[in-house]
């Protein structure tokens, strides 16, 4: 629509993105309350920011696991009381939410799994006689096809099979320590009989258990001991309790890498360590915060980048957050492609579209026609259509190849790593691999080399090759680090920034820790059996592999390349600076803070910066009437609330942390002197009072200049703190 085009120019968005946001707005307006689900945290934040900015009349909150507990609880409470137009959420609102006011669920982008679609739509229509309603807002052709397949599967109850994790060594070890804390000792054979009563351990053998506990008896720090009579006992000491209570959860902690724009000096955001280690290296392009960046260097636990304007080959930074699309769903999309391609060549497309709409009741003829425009263009330009029965290898400009294969996320990841392993070992060429459910992108080699690698893989013991490829992946090395942490062999604070993952892999090779990490990786991150089955079908001729006669990128290739940056916005440097400032401003204003009276320590309040800005003044302490109010977040906020509680009980200031007391006192002085602007400045990450004093003395309003200077101060503060951490680690060594 014309309004989408006009608004897109004003807000630096693609018209298609603007149209999707407008659709969300219209659906939300027609409902009492709505939940908008996205597949990644970054998308939830971007969508929340844009909707708040575009539609100020709507009250919208963002909800995901990275936000503070207080922020999440506030959003849930407002939603329950019908005080929000919508909450934009990731999977954090999928479970345990019973909100009668929610009458529609909107899914932005494909839900990627039928089970997720059912669960998410089930958050709406709670109440006698009410019906759950859901709408999927697709982002492109692949998204639309995938979504109608998932909707059909959800309606017909064809849900994904759960891949249970069997014989988990780290859980068995932890539970055994808990058992010994209560019982004192247990014979190994008795433990095996006890464990086998639980379904995941029904196949556990005495030899496996003996190997595990023999190894852990020799490991350090020693928690458990297997004596010559095969009786398990504990090494008494505080470290036993420290291990047991410190490893109750199996959810891993993922470290983050700050990203710094070297051109402007801005701190842009953070990337998960798995993404950095698996995909990034100097020269690699990736999509982050709506723009394409090239890595200049990775050092000191930071990623230094510069903006580039060519998106080809760029990897989406949220790739690790995405749910895997099952192989069956991707193959069904491939089957629809095949049917459409065959009917188009026979001039029978209209009839086929009506037939497809009949099979997929969540689709309609108009939507399906728009969705197949890329496919039709692909055919008209003479390209071969990849389907569930045909894999197409296509050369793209430069040294790059796209394998069009509808294998789903995990099969494509597994096959991509296996081909990469073959190319590296056989042709001595380093390559970069990325994938989505419908294609594998291999940069650095020609299509002929990829076809030869396929042949080698097919004619070799491919299971061994695939397992070796998985062992060489960052996914495996990160799982190994996490398993070692859960078994108490490495400190829980350790990350790839301080530990060499290559040395860790060599140190634990051939141990139960290694085999446990490998099983976990193959269960959660790869699909060994699905990949072997696909290779078998290729060998039997049920699936053909061909090289495209035409050089790409073809329309379907471009769909994948552009898809990596959804919603991709290539913008000029001046506009980028403005966009970064807007993003920085939004982050600062939405920052959750704890206000603490640094005078009496008898009062604190949870709020966000924008609420204080709207008030126009720093609130007075209701206990002592002081305006010496410190704004704290993260660790400092948690500690401050604890000391406020202590101070209330004692009736006087009682702060046992002198660093916190000094920090709060100096921040309080700044708030008393400079007012609201001081609260805004305190919300920047890592800043100390001395960092912002001079800035506040020269700025009285929330201007672009103020934000620009504050962003630079934040970047320097983060650099300083990372350098200090590095020095402390050296001293410890």
**Quick one: which of 312, 199, 257 has its CA closest to 498?**
257
Decide if 262 contacts 274 (C-beta within 8 A): no
Residue that wins the pLDDT comparison between 682 and 280: 682
Q: What are phi and psi of 429, to 5 degrees?
A: -125, 130
Nearest CA to 277 out of 473, 410, 467 is that of 473
Give the least confident one: 122-136, 308-322, 358-372, 540-554.
308-322
Residue predicted with more confidence, 247 or 264 = 247
Q: Which of 57-66, 141-150, 485-494 has the highest mean pLDDT?
A: 141-150
What is the set of domains in the chain, with CATH numbers? 2-137 (3.40.50.300), 169-246 (1.10.10), 362-559 (no CATH), 591-702 (no CATH)
* Residue 106 burial (CB count, 10 A): 24
pLDDT at site 565: 45
Task: Please give the radius of gyration of the chain, using alpha carbons only, rounded to the nearest integer.
Answer: 28
Q: What is the pLDDT of residue 732?
A: 40
Angle CA(267)–CA(271)–CA(277) in degrees, nearest 5? 125
Percent of the chain with pLDDT over 90: 39
Q: Is the pLDDT of residue 312 over 60?
A: no
Q: What is the pLDDT of residue 573?
A: 44
Report yes or no: 288 and 298 within 8 Å, Cβ to Cβ: no
The helix (run of H) or strand (run of E) holding residue 529 is helix 528-539
Residue 301 has pLDDT above 70, yes or no: yes
Question: Under 8 Å CB-to-CB from 128, ≥6 apart: which residues?
Answer: none
**pLDDT tens digits for 505-521?**
898 999 999 999 999 99
182 vs 185, 190, 295, 558, CA distance in Å? 9, 15, 53, 61
Helix (H, G, I), strand (E, B) or coil at 105: strand
Q: Is the pLDDT of residue 332 over 60?
A: yes
3-state class of 234 per DSSP? strand
Least confident of 67-71, 181-185, 609-613, 707-711: 67-71
pLDDT tier at 461, thresholds 50, 70, 90: confident
Provide the 3-class DSSP secondary structure of residue 12: coil
- Give 211's pLDDT tier (boundaries 50, 70, 90): very high
Under 8 Å CB-to-CB from 228, ≥6 apart: which residues? none
What's the token pair of residue 649? 């009980």
In this structure, the chain runs to a length of 733
User: What is the model's pLDDT at position 729?
Assistant: 46
Lowest-confidence region among 28-37, 323-332, 578-587, 689-698: 578-587
- Which of 3, 20, 14 is closest to 571 using CA atoms? 14
pLDDT at position 68 over 80 = no
What pLDDT score does 514 carry? Answer: 96
pLDDT of residue 671: 94
The answer, yes or no, to whether residue 702 has pLDDT greater than 70, is yes
Q: What's the pLDDT band for 280 if we cut at 50, 70, 90?
A: confident
Report d(CA 172, CA 449) in Å as an integer.
45
| DSSP code, position 94 | S
User: What proportion of the chain, given as a percentage, has pLDDT over 70?
Assistant: 88
At 4 the pLDDT is 63
Distance between CA atoms of 365 and 61, rounded to whole angstroms? 35
More confident residue, 178 or 127: 178
The stretch 699-713 carries a mean pLDDT of: 86
Residue 165 pLDDT: 86
* Residues contacting residue 28 through CB under 8 Å, at least 6 positions apart: 34, 36, 58, 85, 86, 104, 106
pLDDT at 317 over 80: no
Rounded mean pLDDT of 172-200?
93
Which pLDDT value is given to residue 614?
A: 81
CB atoms under 10 Å from CB of 283, counted, come to: 9
DSSP string, 448-513: HHHHHHHHHHHTS-HHHHHHHHHHTSHHHHHHHHHHHHHTTSS-TT--TTTS-HHHHHHHHTTSHH
| pLDDT tens column, 565-588 | 433 333 334 444 565 677 678 778
> What is the reported pLDDT for 502?
83
Tell which wins on pLDDT, 45 or 651: 651
Compute the mean pLDDT over every residue in the chain, rounded to the nearest whole number. Answer: 85
Q: How far apart are CA 407 and CA 328, in angstroms?
A: 8
pLDDT at 123: 82
| The dihedral sign for the CA sequence 344, 348, 353, 355 | negative
538-572 pLDDT, tens digit each? 999 999 999 988 887 889 988 887 665 433 333 33
Both tokens assigned to 440: 């594998």
The predicted pLDDT at position 570 comes to: 33
Biggest CA-to-CA distance, the chain: 86
pLDDT band at 661 (very low <50, low <70, confident <90, very high): very high
| Cα gap 436→39, rounded to integer Å | 14
- Name the DSSP class of 619: P
As given in the structure block, the two tokens for residue 472 are 């060489």
pLDDT above 90 (res 360): yes
377 vs 611, more confident:
377
Alpha carbon distances (Å) from 715 to 266, 686, 718: 6, 9, 5
pLDDT at residue 51 above 60? yes
What's residue 567's pLDDT?
36
Three-state DSSP at 356 gives: helix
């Amino acid at each position: 629509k014309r309004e989408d085009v006009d608004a897109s120019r004003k807000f630096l968005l693609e018209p298609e993105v603007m149209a999707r946001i407008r659709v969300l707005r219209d659906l939300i307006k027609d409902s009492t309350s709505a939940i908008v689900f996205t597949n990644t945290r970054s998308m939830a934040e971007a969508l929340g920011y844009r909707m708040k900015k575009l539609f100020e009349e709507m009250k919208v909150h963002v909800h995901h696991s990275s936000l503070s507990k207080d922020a999440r609880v506030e959003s849930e409470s407002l939603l329950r009381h019908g005080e929000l137009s919508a909450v934009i959420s990731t999977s954090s609102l999928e479970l345990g939410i019973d909100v009668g006011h929610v009458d529609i669920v909107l899914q932005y982008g494909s839900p990627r799994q039928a089970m997720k679609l059912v669960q998410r739509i089930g958050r709406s229509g709670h109440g006698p006689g009410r019906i759950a309603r859901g709408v999927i807002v697709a982002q492109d052709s692949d998204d639309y096809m995938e979504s109608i397949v998932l909707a059909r599967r959800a309606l017909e109850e064809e849900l994904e099979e759960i891949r249970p994790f069997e014989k988990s060594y780290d859980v068995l070890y932890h539970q055994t320590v808990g058992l010994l804390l209560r019982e004192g000792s247990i014979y190994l054979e008795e433990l095996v009989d006890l464990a086998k009563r639980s379904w995941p351990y029904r196949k556990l053998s005495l030899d496996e258990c003996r190997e595990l506990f023999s190894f852990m008896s020799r490991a350090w720090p020693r928690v458990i001991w297997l004596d010559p009579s095969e009786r398990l006992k504990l090494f008494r000491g505080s470290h036993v309790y420290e291990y047991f209570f410190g490893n109750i959860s199996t959810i891993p902690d993922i470290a983050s890498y700050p990203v710094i724009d070297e051109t402007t000096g801005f701190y842009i955001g953070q990337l998960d360590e798995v993404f950095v280690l698996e995909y990034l290296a100097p020269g690699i392009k990736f999509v982050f915060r709506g723009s394409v960046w090239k890595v200049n260097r990775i050092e000191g636990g930071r990623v230094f980048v510069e903006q580039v304007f060519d998106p080809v080959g760029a990897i989406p930074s949220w790739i690790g957050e995405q749910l895997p699309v099952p192989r069956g769903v991707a193959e069904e999309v491939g089957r629809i492609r095949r049917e459409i391609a065959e009917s188009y060549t026979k001039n029978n497309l209209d009839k086929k579209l009506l037939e497809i709409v009949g099979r997929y009741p969540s689709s309609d003829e108009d939507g399906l026609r728009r969705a197949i425009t890329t496919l039709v263009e692909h055919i008209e330009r003479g390209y071969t259509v990849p389907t569930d029965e045909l894999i197409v290898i296509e050369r793209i400009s430069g040294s790059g190849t796209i394998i069009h294969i509808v294998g789903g996320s995990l099969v494509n990841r597994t096959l991509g790593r296996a081909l990469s392993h073959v190319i590296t070992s056989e042709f001595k060429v380093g390559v970069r691999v990325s994938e989505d459910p419908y294609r594998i992108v291999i940069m650095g080699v020609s299509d002929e080399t990829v076809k030869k690698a396929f042949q080698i893989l097919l004619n070799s013991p491919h299971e061994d090759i695939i397992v070796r490829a998985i062992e060489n992946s960052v996914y495996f090395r990160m799982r190994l680090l996490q398993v070692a942490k859960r078994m108490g062999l490495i400190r829980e604070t350790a990350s790839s920034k301080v530990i060499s993952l290559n040395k860790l892999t060599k140190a634990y090779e051939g141990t139960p820790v290694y085999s446990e990490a490998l099983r976990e990786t193959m269960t959660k991150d790869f699909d060994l059996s699905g990949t072997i089955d696909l290779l078998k079908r290729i060998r039997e001729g049920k699936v053909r592999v061909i090289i495209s006669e035409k050089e790409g990128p073809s329309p379907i290739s471009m769909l994948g390349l552009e898809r990596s940056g959804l919603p991709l916005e290539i913008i000029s440097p001046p506009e980028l600076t403005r966009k970064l400032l807007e993003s920085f401003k939004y982050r600062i204003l939405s920052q959750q803070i704890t206000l603490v009276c640094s005078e009496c320590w008898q009062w604190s309040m949870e709020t966000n910066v924008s609420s204080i800005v709207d008030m126009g003044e720093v609130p007075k302490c209701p206990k002592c009437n002081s305006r010496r109010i410190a704004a704290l977040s993260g660790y400092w906020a948690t500690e401050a609330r604890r000391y406020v509680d202590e101070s209330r009980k004692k009736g006087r200031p009682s702060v046992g942390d002198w660093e916190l007391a000094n920090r709060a006192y100096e921040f309080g002085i700044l708030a008393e002197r400079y007012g609201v602007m001081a609260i805004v400045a305190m919300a920047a990450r890592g800043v100390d009072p001395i960092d912002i004093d001079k800035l506040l003395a020269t700025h009285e309003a929330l201007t672009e200049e103020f934000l620009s200077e504050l962003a630079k101060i934040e970047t320097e503060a983060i650099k300083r703190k990372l350098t200090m951490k590095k020095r402390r680690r050296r001293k410890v060594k």
